[in-house]
C-alpha cells in the first residue's frame, strides 16, 4: 500500500516537472563543461603561481594579478589589447554604418537577401582563411607592395603587417559583419515618418541624417561597438597571424604561458583579466540590447 | 515609399554607396584573393598574376596534411551539428514555453559562449580536462564537447525565435481534439518550426567547421581541424595548397548560407536569431 502511494507521488512529481527534462541535457552539459571549468580557471588564477605540470597549490594569493600589473610586458599587452579593440570598434562603426544603412533601406527582397548572404558568408567563413587572403594582400611580397613596386611608386616594400596596423586591419575585417548585423535592425526600425517630419520642417537631408537618423540609431551603434570590442579583444588568431607575434596582446600571452611555459596559474590569471574585460562590455551590451529589443534581446 | 524619402535616399545615396563599397571590399577582397591563390599557376600569387590552373586543387586532393584536416573538420562538424541541434532544440522549447524565475538567466547562460573569449573557454575546458583526468584532454569527445558549447547558442537562438513566431493556439487545438502532448508537438509544432531548427543546425555546422579558438588547446597531430592545420602552415609560408583547401571551405560556407536563405527570412536576421 505504502509502495503504491510512493509510486504515485513519484509519478505526480514526474509529470509536474516533466518539461524540465527538455532542458536537462543542455543544462547538465553547461554546468559540467562550462560553469565548472570557468570556475576552476578562476580558482587557479588565485592560486600560488608555479611552473610545470598543472597542480593546485591550495594557497590563495593575488601574486599572478600583481605580476600582470607590475610587469610592463603584461601591462602593456593589456593596454595594447584594449586600445586595438577600441580602435577597431570605432573604425568598424564608420565603415559598417553605410553598408548597414544600405541593407536596411534596400526593399527589393532579392537584392536584400543577396547582400545579407554576402555579409553572412564573410562572417561565417573560417577566420584563418580570411587572414590567408589578407596576408597575401598585405605581406612584404604581397599584392599591394608588389603593385606599388611594379608601378615604381615605392622602391622597397612598406611594412603593412607584422605590426599594429596589420592587426588593426585584421580586426576590422574580422568584426565588420557583427557591426553591420547589429545596426541593420535598428536602422530599419526608424520610422520614415520621423525623417519626413524633419524634412517638411525644413531640415536638409544632411541635417536629417545627423540630427535624426544617427541619434535614433544610437542603441544599435552602442550595441555594435560593444560587441565588436568584446570579440576583438578576445581574438587570438588575428594578432597571431597579422602581428606575427610582434604585437603582443592578452590572448597571445594566455596561450604562451600555458602551452609553451607551463605556467598554469599565471596563464589563468591573464585569461581571467581577459574574461572580465570582455564580460564587462557584454553586460553593458546586453543592457543596451534589452532596451532595443524591448526585453526580448 | 514617400517622395521625401526617395529624395533623401538619392541625395545621401552617393555617400552611402561609396561607404558600402568600401565595407564590401574589406569583407570580400580577402576571400577573392584566397580563390585566386588556389587557382593561380605560379608558386605564389604575385602582382601581376601569372595564369590559371588547377594544379593546387589536385595538390590539395593528394595532400595528407590538408585533405585529412578538411575531412576531420567535416566529420567533427556533422557530429557537433547533430548533438547541438538535439540538445539546443529541446532547451529552446523549454526556455520559450515555460517562464519561471531565472529563465532569463538560463537564456543568458546558453547564449554566453557566443561572446565570451573562445580562447578562454578553450583554456578553461583544457584545465578541467587535464585536472580531472577523465580522459578528455586532447581527445575527440573532448573536442566535440567544446564545439557543442560554441554552436548551441546558434541553435537555441534560431529555434526560440521560430517558436516565438509560432501560434501556440494551433498546438492547443490539436490537444483539445485529443492528441497527446507528444503527438501534438510532433504533428503540429515541429513542422512549423522545422525551418528554424534546420537553419540552426546549418549554423551549428558552419560555426563548428570554421572554429579556431576553442580547438586551439584541444588539437593534437591526430585530431587537427582544418583551421588549426591552416594556422600552423600559415605561420611559416603561404602554401597555395592551403588556399585550395580554402576554396572548398568557401564553397561550403556559400552553400550553407544559400540553404539558410531558403529556410528563413534573412531580412530578419540579427546576429544569432531570426525574428
Taking residue B1's Cβ as centre, other Cβ atoms within 10 Å add up to 10
DSSP string, A131-148: HHHHHHHHSTTSHHHHHH
Of A205, A209, A278, the CB nearest to B117: A278
Cell of B58: 589536385
The helix (run of H) or strand (run of E) holding residue B270 is: strand B269-270
The partner residues of B52 in beta bridges, in order of sequence, read B40
Q: Which residue, among A135, A140, A180, has the nearest Cα to A156 in the 3D structure?
A: A140
CB B144 within 8 A of CB B76: yes
Q: What is the C-alpha separation between A147 and B33, in angstroms, rounded?
A: 14
Which tens digit of pLDDT belongs to each residue from B233-275? Answer: 888 888 889 999 999 999 999 999 999 888 887 776 665 555 4
Q: What is the C-alpha separation between A57 and A67, in angstroms, rounded?
A: 18
Q: Span A72-293: which CATH code?
A: 1.10.3720.10
- Could you tell me which chain A residue has the CA closest to the CA of B132? A37
Domains and CATH numbers, chain B: 1-53 (no CATH), 63-274 (1.10.3720.10)
pTM score of the predicted model? 0.89
CB B38 within 8 A of CB B52: no
Q: What is the C-alpha separation between A237 and A167, in angstroms, rounded?
A: 10
Q: State the burial class of residue A244 (Cβ atoms within 10 Å of its Cβ: 0-12, 13-18, 19+).
A: middle
**Contacts with A275 from chain B: Cβ below 8 Å:** 116-117, 120
**Contacts with A57 from chain B: Cβ below 8 Å:** none
For chain A, what are the domain ranges? 72-293
CB-hemisphere CA count at 13 Å for B237? 6
Which tens digit of pLDDT belongs to each residue from A171-224? Answer: 999 999 999 998 998 898 888 888 888 888 888 888 888 888 888 898 889 888
Give Cβ neighbours of residue B4 (< 8 Å, ≥ 6 apart): A195, A196, A199, A200
Scanning the structure block, which residue is given the C-alpha cell 532569463?
B104
**If you ran DSSP here, which 8-state letter would residue A50 be given?**
-
Q: What is the C-alpha separation between B220 and B226, in angstroms, rounded?
A: 12
**Contacts with B93 from chain A: Cβ below 8 Å:** 22
CB B225 within 8 A of CB B215: yes
Taking residue A166's Cβ as centre, other Cβ atoms within 10 Å add up to 25
**Contacts with B212 from chain A: Cβ below 8 Å:** 126-128, 236-237
Those of residues 155-214 in A touching chain B at CB distance below 8 A are 172-173, 176-178, 180-182, 184-185, 192, 195-196, 199-200, 205-206, 208-209
Render each residue's pLDDT in chain B as its tens digit; 275 residues.
455 555 545 556 788 889 999 999 999 999 999 999 889 888 777 666 778 888 899 999 998 889 999 999 999 999 999 999 999 999 998 888 887 788 888 888 998 888 789 999 999 999 999 988 888 888 999 999 999 999 999 999 899 888 887 888 888 888 888 888 888 888 888 888 898 899 999 999 999 999 999 999 999 888 899 999 999 988 888 888 999 999 999 999 999 999 988 888 777 666 555 54
Cα torsion A232, A234, A240, A244 to 10°: value is 50
The partner residues of B270 in beta bridges, in order of sequence, read B273
Cell of A61: 594569493
Say whether A120 and B24 touch across the interface (CB within 8 A).
no
Q: Report yes or no: A141 at the B interface, CB cutoff 8 Å.
A: yes
**If you ran DSSP here, which 8-state letter would residue A53 be given?**
S
What is the nearest CA distance from A52 to chain B, expressed in angstroms? 13
**Contacts with A124 from chain B: Cβ below 8 Å:** 203, 206-207, 210, 253, 256-257
Q: Which residue, among B275, B154, B13, has the nearest Cα to A189 in the 3D structure?
A: B275
What is the nearest CA distance from B235 to chain A, expressed in angstroms? 7
Amino acid at each position: 500500500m505504502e509502495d503504491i502511494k510512493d509510486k504515485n507521488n513519484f509519478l505526480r512529481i514526474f509529470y509536474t516537472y516533466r518539461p524540465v527534462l527538455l532542458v536537462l541535457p543542455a543544462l547538465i552539459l553547461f554546468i559540467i563543461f562550462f560553469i565548472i571549468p570557468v570556475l576552476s580557471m578562476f580558482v587557479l588564477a588565485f592560486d600560488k603561481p608555479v611552473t610545470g605540470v598543472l597542480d593546485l597549490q591550495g594557497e590563495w594569493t593575488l601574486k599572478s594579478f600583481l605580476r600582470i600589473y607590475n610587469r610592463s610586458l603584461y601591462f602593456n599587452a593589456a593596454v595594447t589589447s584594449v586600445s586595438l579593440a577600441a580602435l577597431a570598434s570605432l573604425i568598424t562603426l564608420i565603415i559598417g554604418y553605410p553598408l548597414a544603412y544600405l541593407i536596411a533601406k534596400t526593399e527589393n527582397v532579392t537584392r536584400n537577401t543577396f547582400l545579407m548572404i554576402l555579409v553572412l558568408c564573410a562572417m561565417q567563413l573560417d577566420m584563418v582563411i580570411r587572414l590567408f587572403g589578407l596576408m597575401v594582400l598585405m605581406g612584404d611580397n604581397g599584392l599591394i607592395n608588389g603593385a606599388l613596386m611594379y608601378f615604381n611608386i615605392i622602391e622597397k616594400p612598406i611594412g603593412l603587417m607584422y605590426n599594429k596596423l596589420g592587426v588593426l586591419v585584421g580586426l576590422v575585417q574580422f568584426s565588420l559583419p557583427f557591426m553591420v548585423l547589429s545596426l541593420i535592425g535598428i536602422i530599419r526600425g526608424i520610422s520614415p515618418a520621423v525623417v519626413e517630419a524633419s524634412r517638411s520642417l525644413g531640415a536638409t537631408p544632411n541635417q536629417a541624417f545627423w540630427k535624426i537618423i544617427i541619434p535614433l540609431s544610437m542603441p544599435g551603434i552602442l550595441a555594435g561597438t560593444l560587441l565588436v570590442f568584446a570579440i576583438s579583444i578576445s581574438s587570438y588568431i588575428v594578432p597571431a597571424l597579422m602581428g606575427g607575434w610582434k604585437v603582443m596582446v592578452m590572448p597571445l600571452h594566455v596561450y604562451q604561458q600555458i602551452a609553451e611555459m607551463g605556467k598554469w596559474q599565471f596563464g589563468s590569471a591573464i585569461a581571467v583579466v581577459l574574461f572580465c574585460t570582455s564580460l564587462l562590455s557584454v553586460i553593458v551590451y546586453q543592457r543596451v540590447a534589452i532596451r532595443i529589443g524591448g526585453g526580448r534581446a | 515609399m514617400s517622395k521625401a524619402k526617395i529624395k533623401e535616399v538619392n541625395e545621401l545615396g552617393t555617400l552611402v554607396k561609396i561607404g558600402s563599397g568600401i565595407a564590401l571590399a574589406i569583407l570580400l577582397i580577402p576571400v577573392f584573393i584566397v580563390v585566386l591563390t588556389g587557382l593561380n599557376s605560379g608558386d605564389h600569387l604575385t602582382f601581376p598574376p601569372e595564369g590559371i590552373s588547377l594544379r593546387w586543387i589536385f595538390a590539395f586532393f593528394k595532400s595528407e596534411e590538408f585533405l585529412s584536416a578538411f575531412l576531420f573538420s567535416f566529420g567533427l562538424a556533422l557530429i557537433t551539428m547533430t548533438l547541438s541541434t538535439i540538445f539546443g532544440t529541446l532547451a529552446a522549447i523549454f526556455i520559450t514555453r515555460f517562464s519561471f524565475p531565472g529563465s532569463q538567466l538560463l537564456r543568458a547562460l546558453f547564449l554566453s559562449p557566443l561572446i565570451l573569449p573562445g580562447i578562454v573557454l578553450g583554456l578553461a575546458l583544457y584545465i578541467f580536462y587535464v585536472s580531472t583526468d577523465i580522459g578528455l584532454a586532447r581527445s575527440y569527445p573532448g573536442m566535440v564537447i567544446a564545439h557543442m558549447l560554441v554552436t548551441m547558442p546558434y541553435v537555441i537562438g534560431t529555434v526560440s525565435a521560430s517558436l516565438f513566431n509560432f501560434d501556440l493556439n494551433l498546438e492547443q487545438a490539436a490537444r483539445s481534439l485529443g492528441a497527446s502532448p507528444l503527438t501534438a508537438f510532433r504533428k503540429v509544432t515541429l513542422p512549423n518550426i522545422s525551418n528554424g531548427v534546420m537553419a540552426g543546425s546549418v549554423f551549428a555546422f558552419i560555426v563548428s567547421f570554421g572554429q579556431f579558438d576553442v580547438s586551439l588547446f584541444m588539437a593534437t597531430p591526430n585530431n587537427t581541424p582544418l583551421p588549426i592545420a591552416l594556422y600552423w602552415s600559415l605561420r611559416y609560408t603561404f602554401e597555395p595548397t592551403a588556399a585550395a583547401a580554402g576554396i572548398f571551405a568557401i564553397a561550403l560556407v556559400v552553400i550553407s548560407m544559400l540553404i539558410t536563405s531558403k529556410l528563413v527570412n534573412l531580412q530578419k536576421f540579427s546576429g544569432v536569431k531570426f525574428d
